[in-house]
């Protein structure tokens, strides 16, 4: 059984890591452990969690900047922001339902995994775009502060941006500083029914190009539609377009969007409460919160190629899918094997992108690299960065490996 260590201070974490650096013994790093089944399996006898490093360190609402310890629950962050009419604009998803995990989402985990929701493609950018600085412990047990400055000893790159999305392979996060934004006062959704996936992708692209500040664009085929709003969406498919802002502005923009979309199909309008619920469910991948280990892929693709990619994959395997980010993000569940080779080959034929295996049964995870293989130059750069920050390779070894894995 894995030993769990939960240091309460950065110094305590650094001492633990220094001992493991000296011995070469690997460490499994995590925050609230809500993505415990994600990435390639990590073989380590000790898990180091940041969950006890908790609390908001500094928050100036007028400056729209917050600093928090890495193990601070996301719910605590969001509650403090809500009291001041602010929010995390990048809309971090909660992986627990999809992954079948427990634990508590933490702000450090959000940035370590670069977790971003439906607003990412439209207006907000990714989590890393909101990260202003970070503190972490490197693989030698040294505490590092990364802010706006460039670290010359790490290939001249900004460390805070490197840490975001590194999944605990570069350092043990202890503190993050990030920007926040005013929360929208109102939200509404326009749903266009009965569109094919190809036509839905075209409509979403057109809607995003309008001067209406659409903040979410998702297509829900019939196979998944019933998983949203307690099966409260009518029609055989639903193309969902979200607007946010001041009530008067949202109302006026919704009328303009409806006038544009009317020729495409029947329209339904959702008010503020249903809109917020719907987009939380889209964010958290409600259709695939099925308590199963059926392989689930997160596929980033050129939006205009999304429907064609899914169609091609359906000719090769039994799959189910829905679209977010205007089609730029496809959630794809397989009924059988992961079919990584087929999916990644088709992805190359359809403009390229990234196919990331979010979950699968243990046997499939051992055989299938979770992450898209990197070009040689990128892989070499990543290896140099890891060698600088974690010279003995003790942090989450193999978690982000992209080479073929042995049985």
CATH of 3-182, one of 3.30.70.270, 3.40.50.620, 3.40.50.1820, 3.30.465.10: 3.30.465.10
Number of C-beta neighbours around residue 273 at 10 A: 9
Separation between Cα atoms, residue 283 and residue 292, nearest integer Å: 19
Q: 136: which 2 tokens?
A: 């972490």
Cα Rg of the chain, angstroms: 21
Q: Residue 166: pLDDT above 80? A: yes
What is the pLDDT, as a whole number, of residue 1?
62
Domain with CATH 3.30.465.10 in the chain: 3-182
| pLDDT of 161 | 85
Query: Which residues, at least 6 apart from 75, have a Cβ–Cβ distance to it below 8 Å?
Result: 104, 105
Which residues, at least 6 apart from 188, have a Cβ–Cβ distance to it below 8 Å?
242, 243, 250, 251, 254, 269, 270, 271, 272, 275
Q: What is the residue-averaged pLDDT of the chain? A: 94
Give per-residue pLDDT as tens, 8-50: 999 999 999 999 999 999 999 999 999 988 888 999 999 999 9
Confidence of residue 403 (pLDDT cuts 50, 70, 90): low
Give pLDDT tens digits for 193-232: 999 999 999 999 999 999 999 999 999 999 999 999 999 9
Q: Are 399 and 36 in contact (CB under 8 A)?
A: no
Q: Is 33 helix (H, G, I), strand (E, B) or coil?
A: coil
Query: Reduced to 3 DSSP states, what percent helix, strand and coil does the chain have, rounded to the nearest 5?
Result: 35, 25, 40
Share of the chain above pLDDT 70, in %: 96
Question: Does residue 150 carry a pLDDT above 70?
Answer: no
Query: Average pLDDT of 283-312?
Result: 97
Domain 186-283 classification at class level: alpha beta
Average of per-residue pLDDT across 226-251: 97
Per the listing, tokens 């609230």 go with 32
pTM for the full predicted model: 0.93
The two three-digit tokens of residue 10, written as one number: 């950065």
Average pLDDT of span 307-332: 98
pLDDT at 406 over 50: no
Amino acid 74: pLDDT = 98
Residue among 329, 131, 103, 111 nearest 217 (CA): 329
Rounded to an integer, what distance in angstroms lies between the CA atom of residue 363 and that of residue 34? 20
**Residues 383-400: tens digit of each pLDDT:** 899 999 999 999 999 998
361 vs 292: CA distance, rounded Å = 9
Domain 290-367 grouped into CATH 3.30.70: yes
Residue intervals in the chain for CATH 3.30.70.2190:
186-283
> pLDDT of 104-129, one tens digit each?
999 999 999 999 999 988 778 899 99
Comparing 37 with 191, which gets the higher pLDDT?
Answer: 191
């Amino acid at each position: 059984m894995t030993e769990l260590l939960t240091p309460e201070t950065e110094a305590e974490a650094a001492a633990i890591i220094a001992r493991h650096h000296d011995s070469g013994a690997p460490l499994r790093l995590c925050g609230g452990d809500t993505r415990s089944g994600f990435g390639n399996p990590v073989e380590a006898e000790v898990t180091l969690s940041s969950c006890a490093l908790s609390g908001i360190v500094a928050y100036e609402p007028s400056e729209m900047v917050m600093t928090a310890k890495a193990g601070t629950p996301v719910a605590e962050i969001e509650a403090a922001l809500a009291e001041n009419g602010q929010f995390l604009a990048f809309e971090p998803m909660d992986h627990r339902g999809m992954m079948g995990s427990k634990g508590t989402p933490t702000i450090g985990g959000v940035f370590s995994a670069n977790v971003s929701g439906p607003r990412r493609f439209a207006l907000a950018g990714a989590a890393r775009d909101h990260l202003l600085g970070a503190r972490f412990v490197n693989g030698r047990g040294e505490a590092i502060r990364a802010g706006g400055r460039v670290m010359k000893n790490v290939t001249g790159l900004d460390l805070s941006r490197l840490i975001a999305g590194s999944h605990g392979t570069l350092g043990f996060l202890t503190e993050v500083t990030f920007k926040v934004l005013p929360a929208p006062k109102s939200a509404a959704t326009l749903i266009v029914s009965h569109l094919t996936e190809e036509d839905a992708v075209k409509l979403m692209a057109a809607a995003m190009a309008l001067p209406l500040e659409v903040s979410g664009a998702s297509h829900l085929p019939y196979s998944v539609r019933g998983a949203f709003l307690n099966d409260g969406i009518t029609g055989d498919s639903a193309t969902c377009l979200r607007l946010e802002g001041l009530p008067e502005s949202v109302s006026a923009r919704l009328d303009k969007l409806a006038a544009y979309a009317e020729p495409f199909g029947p329209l339904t309008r959702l008010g503020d409460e249903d809109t917020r619920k719907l987009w939380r469910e889209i964010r958290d991948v409600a259709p695939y919160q099925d308590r199963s280990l059926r392989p689930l892929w997160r596929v980033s693709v050129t939006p205009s190629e999304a429907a064609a990619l899914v169609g091609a994959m359906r000719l090769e395997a039994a799959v189910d899918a829905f679209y977010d980010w205007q089609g730029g993000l496809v959630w794809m569940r397989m009924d059988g094997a992961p079919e990584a080779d087929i999916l990644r080959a088709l992805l190359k034929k359809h403009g390229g992108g990234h196919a990331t295996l979010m979950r699968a049964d243990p046997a499939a995870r051992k055989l299938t690299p979770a992450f898209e293989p990197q070009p040689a130059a990128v892989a070499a750069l990543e290896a140099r960065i890891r060698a600088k920050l974690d010279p003995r390779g003790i942090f989450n070894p193999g978690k982000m490996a992209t080479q073929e894995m042995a049985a």
